[in-house]
A = this chain, B = another copy of it.
Amino acid sequence: MSVRERLSQAAFELFAERGFDETTVDDITARAGTGRTTFFRAFGSKEEVVFPDHDSLLASVQARLDAAAPGGEAVALAEAARLVLLHYLAEGDLARTRYVLTRRVPALRAREIAGQRQYQRVFLAFARQWYGEGSRADLHAELLADAVVTAHNHVLRQWLRGRTDTPESDFDEAMAEVLRIFGSGSDSTAGIVVLRTGRDLDDVLPGLRRLLD
């Protein structure tokens, strides 16, 4: 275990035992067996200990998006968001303890929201590049970036609250739903016909297919 991980584990134990506000940096370093200087080389503040992997995770998300091939944007978005989910799942109890802490301590909640906005901005920049110029494209990019974050948070929260044992497949379904709702790209509606009918679809489909092919 690295010094960073030892400090992080000691901090979470103490937050769970005494509460966040009641734990000092000195308490944490005493438990981890390090000095204050070591602590502040590893973390900027007591708040930062709660989100130790935020920066590296954000970088992984960015790297996955940067690696998107033309035509593979939707998959890249889903896989980038999936990296974040998998990270929390791998944390296990640590993620659950953080969830409880962020609900109780406003400073941590504020930092969590700021962190989420960073993901949102990374997804937004990617979606803007994908959808191209224009005010409608821009609105779509914003809606898509928000939807990806919302769908991720939705599944993560269900898992954190112990309401699902299948977060990975839940996530895949949720992300498929988002991509279905938004189509697979800005020009996905080219050549698509949408019509409403009161007739039985099985009756009309053969005729439709003949007409369109």
Contact = CB atoms under 8 A, between A and B. Distances in A.
A198 B140 CA distance: 25
Contacts of A150: 142-143, 146
A195 interface: yes
A1 interface: no
Interface in A127-179: 135-136, 138-140, 142-143, 146-147, 150-151, 154, 158, 170, 173-174, 177-178
Contacts of A209: 195
A207 B150 CA distance: 41
Nearest to A173: B136
A31 to B, nearest CB: 31
Interface string A188-213: 00011111111101001101110111
A80 B135 CA distance: 23
A213 B192 contact: no
A181 interface: yes
A154 B138 CA distance: 9
B193 A204 contact: yes
A58 to B, nearest CB: 19
A113 interface: yes
Interface residues of A, number: 40
A148 B7 CA distance: 42
Given A110-B110, A194-B194, A177 B212 contact: no
Interface in A29-67: none
A194 B180 CA distance: 12
A99 interface: no
A5 to B, nearest CB: 31
Given A139-B174, A146-B147, A204 B212 contact: yes
A182 interface: yes
A136 B154 CA distance: 10
A142 B198 CA distance: 30
A191 B194 CA distance: 10
A198 B110 CA distance: 50
B178 A195 contact: no
